[in-house]
Structure 1
Amino acid sequence: MTSSHIDVSAIDLAELATWMDGQGLPGGPITGVAPVPGGTQNVMVRLERAGRPYILRRPPLHARRKSNEVLRREARVLAALRDTAVPAPVLVAAQTAQEPVFYLMEPVEGFNPSLGLPEPHSSDPAIRHRMGLEAAAALAELGRVDPGVLPGFGRPEGFLERQVPRWLKELDSYGELDGYPGPDIPHLPETADWLTRHLPKTFTPGIMHGDYHFANLMFAPDGPRVAAIVDWEMCTIGDPLIDLGWLLATWPTNNGHVPGLPAPRELIAYYAALSERDMSAIDWYAVMACFKLGIVLEGSHARAYAGKAPKDIGDLLHATTLGLFERAREFMDGALD
């Protein structure tokens, strides 16, 4: 269910108002309740009370198995980031003790570039170029946060060593779906082998977003600054350079929806200038991101064979997987040098 399809009348406004009173928030009637459009699996609703706007985030009415736990983790992450320089939605208050879990955050003033560019961004190539650098800068800011603000969050020990076996196991699990003939992915074995042979020897644990790409960024309406990194449901403590690899793996090619972005090499150099992390194995992180994302997307292809996803979507994502593994091969061949 997307948030744009939620029936806002299903939200008990009286109960919400009582809870908000208990949080010491300004009182009065709740007004202006409206769904926030978007493809998120959770519900987002905008509302106002006492002249203050909020975004309410909660699971869909028919919650998925992990919906409440995902929101519980998100709320914890946003609370930890509230007093940092990381551009993230500002958490106002969260109800995590019982289900459904929900939280209130301040609205973000900004736009998602995957939905189109406003002025002045659409007509100013310097702003568009700078948007790419600001995406790297925001990620470097996240990588500087002490992971101790999220005690017990994730399992950083052995994090990199687990990645290849973890995702090969995920790929094997697709064989349980009826009709799926198995992965037809060129370069799969040699990519897994290359990743295993070139595994970085050490890394410095940090907070990872887990799905860092342009569609999960909102930019300021008046310039190139990242207003907020959104959708924190994949956040963990691991190696933040995998986020940079993810950004490189998903970096728009052929100008995409934001023409004139900096080249990957410039992105890496900008991040490196803002970070103390060892960048000598950045090609490994880019290949790892292609490998993981390709396997994740292949899951929808497998589900399409079993009639659990639309065939056209499955075919499209399989083509994307093939492109990611081709990109991985380019990275292995030194495309980032």
Structure 2
Amino acid sequence: MDGKGLGSGPLESVEPLAGGTQNLLLRFVRNGRTFILRRPPEHKRKNSDETMRREARVLGALADTDVPHPRLIAAEGDTDILGAAFYLMEPIDGFQATSGLPAFHASDPAVRRSMGFSFVDALLSLHAVDPATKNLDGFGKPDGYLERQVPRWQSQLESYNEMEGYPGPDLPYLAEIQAFLEANRPEPSPTGIIHGDYHLANVMFRPADGEIAAIVDWELATQGDPLIDLGLVVAFWPEADGAAGMMSIQPWDGFPAIDELVAHYDANSPRDLSSLDWYAVLACYKTGIILEGTHARAFAGKAPKEFGDLLHATTVGLFEKAGRIIGE
């Protein structure tokens, strides 16, 4: 930090932060300035360091945009300093709605309605960024992005059969979903920056109003068809009672219905949404397959059975939702 002109002296008020399930967050103060450090877990995965480098790169690319995001202070890709790549960012004055609403937001349905549209506005601002102007050459492989999706996730699902004791995927509409995705693949939307995991648990709202303070958790960001993100919104947006399998917000009344959010995106974007059902089905398929991996590992004794069963039930719900979309 000294070499980068980021103050001097000891680190003070050091504390870990909750919120990252795959990576670690640490807050500290130096010379009166607060920093947030993000790094991989102690037991790194094979691609942990490269994930940190990619996150820092995309946050740096967004610096002069309207996209609400954690502001990058500095990044270190070398693993010699902390044993892992890491970066420093500004703290966010905000809260995650899936962890509970403050009294101001919980007491006013109009504020919650604003939160819903702000959620889409933040995505619109990201999808309006032209990656060609942000020095993101080599950040992802946008060519053939949609064509690779079904074979890639089908292969991952088939790989779970190698797990000892796993009886194979017992998932509704599996064959129908795969056939639908292959037969109805659209022409890709113009290349943009994809967040890759855009849902209500990965945004922070401002305490004083219903606006987005920041989009967080950029580890799956890449270049490709941005409607991938909107498909995730459709797949994960809670139902009328606020429940949505992996996340829930209470109270839910006031939040816009998913049709209103899609109409809002459509009215403010030049992208063609006529094939949005395809992206929503893909989101259900992809996410369900990722979660099913924990179910398979549980059979092999590599994950808790209760957790595996819970994620399997979520996968079944996602596949059932995909089946409903196909049948509509």
TM-score by length of 2: 0.93
Contact 2:189 2:226 in 1 (8 A): no
Alignment-derived partner of residue 118 in structure 2 = 134
Which residue number in structure 1 is paired with residue 246 of structure 2?
A: none
Residue number in structure 2 paired with 1:17: none
Counterpart mapping for 1:13-52 below 5 A: 20-52=1-33
Q: Cα offset for 1:264?
A: 1.0
Give the CA deviation at 1:119.
2.2
The more displaced of 258-267 and 181-190 is 258-267
The match for 1:227 is 213
State the partner residue of 2:188.
202
- CA deviation string 1:10-49 (max 9, x = no partner): xxxxxxxxxx111112223321111112342211110011
Cα separation, 2, equivalents of 1:174 and 1:222? 46
Runs of 4+ residues over 3 Å off in structure 1:
none
Query: Structure 2 counterpart of 1:250, which letter?
Result: F
Query: How many residues end up aligned between the 2 structures?
Result: 315
Pair 1:288-2:269 in alignment:
no
User: C-alpha separation between the residues in 2 aligned to 1:128 and 1:143?
Assistant: 23
In 1, the alpha carbon distance for the partners of 2:150 and 2:309 equals 24
Pairing 1:216–2:202 present: yes
Q: Give 1:121's match in structure 2, choosing from 105, 125, 144.
A: 105
- Residues in 1 aligned to 2:266 and 2:144: alpha-carbon distance in whole angstroms: 24
For residue 319 of structure 1, the aligned residue among 310, 313, 320 is 313
Rounded Cα–Cα distance in structure 2 between residues aligned with 1:126 and 1:314: 38
Specify which of 30, 48, 65 is matched with residue 46 of structure 2.
65
Deviations 1:209-232 (A, max 9, x none): 011000001000011111011000
Conserved? CA contact 2:203–2:215, under 8 Å: yes
- Residue 87 (structure 1) aligned to one of 65, 68, 78: 68
Distance 1:41 1:313 in 2: 16
Query: For residue 315 of structure 1, what is the amino acid of its counterpart?
Result: D
Identical-residue share of aligned pairs (%): 56
Q: What is residue 88 of structure 2 aligned with on the other side?
A: 104
Give the secondary-structure state (helix, strand or coil) at the position aligned to 1:78.
Answer: helix
Greater shift in the superposed pair: 26-35 or 149-158: 26-35
State TM-score, norm by structure 1: 0.91
**Whole-angstrom CA distance in 2 between matches of 1:141 and 1:126:** 22
* 1:5 equivalent in structure 2: none
C-alpha distance in 1 between matches for 2:49 and 2:303: 24
1:69 Cα deviation after fit: 1.0
Which residue in the other structure is 1:15 paired with? none
Query: Which is worse superposed, 40-49 or 172-181?
Result: 40-49
288-297 or 255-264: bigger deviation: 255-264
| Partner in structure 1 of residue 298 of structure 2 | 304
**Inter-partner Cα distance in structure 2 for 1:64 and 1:197:** 35
| Aligned-pair Cα RMSD in Å | 1.2
